[in-house]
Amino acid sequence: MPVTSHVSGDGKAVTIRVAGQFTFSVYPEFREATRQPALKPDASFVIDLTGAEYMDSSALGMLLVLRERAGGDRANIAITHCSPEIRKILSIANFDRLFRID
């Protein structure tokens, strides 16, 4: 499964793992992971890209939609375990200004 998620017991944090191709094909799974009923309105998100091999512009759009839904400038979203190629895409798109990239 390309997208898996885990919500903390208190509903304040969710970790979303994306493996393989982070493209529009995973949109339904990604959207579902960000809309889980157990999540608190001010939940923080970790997007774990350990297994992601590729990211396209639709993935960037999904991250932007998540950011808006999670509070815009107040959103607490970290993107972690990026490959050098994905880190370069995020840097070119200036996502380091919008997200914490670890």
For residue 97, what pLDDT is reported? 95
Low-confidence ranges of the chain (pLDDT < 70): 1, 38
For residue 1, what pLDDT is reported? 66
CB atoms within 10 A of CB 1: 8
For residue 36, what pLDDT is reported? 77
As its CATH architecture, domain 3-101 has 2-Layer Sandwich (3.30)
C-beta separation of 34 from 16 below 8 A: yes
For residue 48, what pLDDT is reported? 98
The residues, any chain, with a CB within 8 Å of residue 37's CB and separated by 6 or more, are none
For residue 61, what pLDDT is reported? 97
Backbone angles phi, psi at 73, to 5 degrees: -65, -20
For residue 3, what pLDDT is reported? 94
Does the predicted model carry a pTM greater than 0.75? Answer: yes
Q: Where are the beta strands (DSSP E) in the chain?
A: 3-7, 13-22, 44-55, 77-80, 100-101
